[in-house]
Structure 1
Amino acid sequence: MLALVDRPVPEPGEGEVRIRVAFSGVNPTDWKARARPGDLPFPEIVPNQDGSGVVDAVGPGVSGLAPGDSVWTYLSAHQRPGGTAAEYTVQPVEHVVRLPDGASLELGASLGVPAMTAHRALTVAEHGPTRLAPGALDGRTVLVAGGAGAVGHAAIQLARWAGATVITTISGPEKAALATAAGAHHVVNYREQDAAAEIRRLAPGGVDQVVEVSPARNATLNQAVLANHGSVAVYANDGGDEVTLNVIAHFAANVRYQFLLLYTVGQPALDAAAEDITRAVADGALPVGTEHGLPILRYPLASAGDAHEAVANGAVGKVLIEI
């Protein structure tokens, strides 16, 4: 269970940064971690992987950050007892990133898991780039499954910033409006349209990259729309844990399936994502809010349990706990 308690302000150690938290971002991984059976790895855990705030103190060996810097942080509760759902959090400096001038703390707390997952999904294609920047995806077509979700939203924005033509699938008009506001060139309602036929009409040569949230449900669709040497980057298992693929059809098209998990992807990939995302933020390419396709849903710290429940129940938008 989640309970609001008072604890001493933590002190940063070697290579650590203390952040006075402004916003704590809630992701599906946060409530799922609490729902897993078994003993907790620590006697007490402060949840939430993502957040933003202002550097309050730095430990020995820290360079590049100083008190007063506005920052965002990611994977803050991974193998650590202290996440971002607190007034103060201490994090390793490699997981703390300076926010560009003018970027809001709400935006900072909305990055983390969604934006870094989207970055990884867009940089694992066989003939695609390993880094994102303007022009990196020129000439490529990206299909984002579930463009109204937090990862889908970030994938649309990053792909558009990098020069791709972006198609997304959604389930209704409200989500279509959000995906369009995020910057998708084409929106396909898979409940009302023949999604494969419509995507093939929009991309006659096929889709180069798929950012996939539901591989079990979408395997047949992806097979129908992928270009030769197309790639499917799978970051979630919505709709089932097992995927059935037609082997002949996939090897005939040289299709690549790439599964990804931020926890185990390695620090070099995380560093690359943080650098590219920071550049995109500085370019104004990752805005949040309803007018940009990602409504912000705010909860006070005392209602952290309600915030987790909202995400578990499929809230549309980004759930933030305001400290």
Structure 2
Amino acid sequence: MRAITYDRFGPAADVLKLDDIPAPVAAPGEVLVRLHVSGVNPSDIRARAGGRPGVTEPPFPKIIPHSDGAGVIEAVGDGVPSNRVGERVWIWNGQWQRAFGTAAEYIVLPAEQAVALPDHVSFEQGAVLGIPGLTACHAVLGGGPVEGQTVLVSGGAGTVGRLAIQVAAASGARVLSTVRGEKAAATAKAAGADEVFDYTDERLADRILETTGGRTIDRIVEVEFGKNVETNTRIISERGTIAAFGSAKDMTPVLPFYPLMFKAITIDLVLVYILSDAERRTTLANLTDLLDRYALSFQISDILPLEDCAKAHDMIAGGHRAGSVLLKI
């Protein structure tokens, strides 16, 4: 089968190559998926570049990158119902703690990691569900229903942020968002944000509280935890939650401990790769419900052929995109 592989860390163009390797075979409890699309995420770029803390060399002799994708089940292993053959599916954790991910014609993985894709959802959209979709859904709904609450989504024009706005709005919350620039503000508004704020505003906390009439925020979905912790501490409600899925601009933040403690704030660090089984089931059910209700739309920036994988990595690393970057297989 055709696959993108690498065997050492380094720049995308130097280490990623189009390879021809044997197609895998489904073992007991597994499914073989013929992939149509592979989703590319920032975490894939960090993994290929050797940017994960404490990892100094690739964990496997040969790696096929990417955790997200969508396709059709072509074969099943023992113990998996045969009627799953022909099923359209999307993938989660394709390359998490595994050598071979979705940048290939085929993947085998445990049957539960191939989730039924509704007929009205395209393979391209399905390839966005794994990391971005699950992160957005868990960050908003991981603490339970948000109906009647006020949810702030930081970075609402980003891939996860835009989906989080939709999840919160479809779940009955009042949704606020922070962005930068008029185009990003229009994106967040179109996704369902009731109010949008410029995150570079020095009076951001005041602006938010003025807009809410002094009412504090029940839940914050945060893409830059360290950079925004002071603002969030001011605007979060007592017993509120900051659900953070990133902190790239300040990776070793100093916390205002006592202001957070005296509000009894919950800090939920969202890493969808290692959700508990119960959390995974709940998040998958919530995401499937949102898809069935046609509540989510997807912003896709570029679809490139498999052989342009290095270009896709560089586009994401350089910030040259306005939505998800995908590989057509």
Q: What TM-score, normalized to structure 1?
A: 0.91
Question: 2 CA distance for matches of 1:189 and 1:116?
Answer: 26
Among 289, 306, 322, which residue is 1:301 paired with?
306
Tell me whether 1:139 sits opposite 2:145 in the alignment. no
What residue is the counterpart of 2:207 in the other structure?
A: 198
Return the offset for 1:124.
Answer: 4.1
Question: 1 CA distance for matches of 2:276 and 2:308?
Answer: 33
Return the offset for 1:252.
Answer: 2.2
What residue is the counterpart of 1:318 in the other structure?
A: 324
Q: Deviations over 1:102-130 (max 9, x none)?
A: 111111011111111122212344xxx1x
Return the offset for 1:193.
Answer: 6.7
Return the offset for 1:319.
Answer: 0.6
How is 1:18-57 mapped onto 2 (pairs within 5 angstroms)? 18-36=32-50, 37-57=55-75
Equivalent pair of 2:152/2:217 in contact (CA under 8 Å): yes
Equivalent pair of 2:175/2:194 in contact (CA under 8 Å): yes
For residue 266 of structure 1, what is the amino acid of its counterpart? S
For residue 137 of structure 2, what is the amino acid of its counterpart? H
Equivalent pair of 1:172/1:191 in contact (CA under 8 Å): no
For residue 101 of structure 2, what is the amino acid of its counterpart? G
Equivalent pair of 1:22/1:51 in contact (CA under 8 Å): yes
Return the offset for 1:275.
Answer: 1.8
Return the offset for 1:299.
Answer: 1.1
Among 197, 213, 216, which residue is 2:226 paired with?
216
Question: 1 CA distance for matches of 2:169 and 2:106?
Answer: 35
Return the offset for 1:31.
Answer: 0.6
Question: 2 CA distance for matches of 1:123 and 1:225?
Answer: 20
Q: Deviations over 1:225-272 (max 9, x none)?
A: 111111101111221112222233222222121212122222321222
Equivalent pair of 1:101/1:282 in contact (CA under 8 Å): no
Q: How has the CA–CA distance of structure 1 residues 59 and 26 changed in structure 2, closer, same or farther, with 3 Å as cutoff?
A: same
Question: 1 CA distance for matches of 2:24 and 2:173?
Answer: 44
What residue is the counterpart of 2:242 in the other structure?
A: 232
Tell me whether 1:87 sits opposite 2:105 in the alignment. yes
Gaps of 5+ in 1: 130-135, 289-293
Q: For 2:47, what is the secondary structure of its paired residue?
A: helix
Q: Percent identity?
A: 37
Q: For 1:197, what is the secondary structure of its paired residue?
A: helix
Question: 2 CA distance for matches of 1:263 and 1:174?
Answer: 31
Question: 1 CA distance for matches of 2:33 and 2:136?
Answer: 25
Return the offset for 1:206.
Answer: 0.6
What residue is the counterpart of 1:184 in the other structure?
A: 193
Tell me whether 1:285 sits opposite 2:299 in the alignment. no
Question: 2 CA distance for matches of 1:206 and 1:260?
Answer: 22
Equivalent pair of 2:66/2:102 in contact (CA under 8 Å): yes
Q: For 2:20, what is the secondary structure of its paired residue?
A: coil
Q: What TM-score, normalized to structure 2?
A: 0.90
Moved more, 192-201 or 86-95: 192-201
Count, aligned residues: 309
Tell me whether 1:169 sits opposite 2:169 in the alignment. no
Question: 1 CA distance for matches of 2:89 and 2:142?
Answer: 27
Q: For 1:270, what is the secondary structure of its paired residue?
A: helix
Among 237, 243, 247, which residue is 2:253 paired with?
243
Equivalent pair of 2:64/2:100 in contact (CA under 8 Å): yes
Return the offset for 1:101.
Answer: 2.2
Question: 2 CA distance for matches of 1:234 and 1:44?
Answer: 32
For residue 83 of structure 1, what is the amino acid of its counterpart? G
For residue 302 of structure 1, what is the amino acid of its counterpart? E
Tell me whether 1:99 sits opposite 2:109 in the alignment. no
Equivalent pair of 1:49/1:83 in contact (CA under 8 Å): yes
Q: Deviations over 1:125-148 (max 9, x none)?
A: 4xxx1xxxxxx3211011111111
Q: How has the CA–CA distance of structure 1 residues 64 and 252 changed in structure 2, closer, same or farther, with 3 Å as cutoff?
A: farther
Q: For 2:141, what is the secondary structure of its paired residue?
A: coil
Cα-Cα RMSD: 1.6
Equivalent pair of 2:73/2:88 in contact (CA under 8 Å): yes
How is 1:141-156 mapped onto 2 (pairs within 5 angstroms)? 141-156=150-165
Equivalent pair of 2:66/2:103 in contact (CA under 8 Å): yes
Question: 1 CA distance for matches of 2:82 and 2:46?
Answer: 34
Q: For 1:4, what is the secondary structure of its paired residue?
A: strand
Q: How has the CA–CA distance of structure 1 residues 75 and 65 changed in structure 2, closer, same or farther, with 3 Å as cutoff?
A: farther
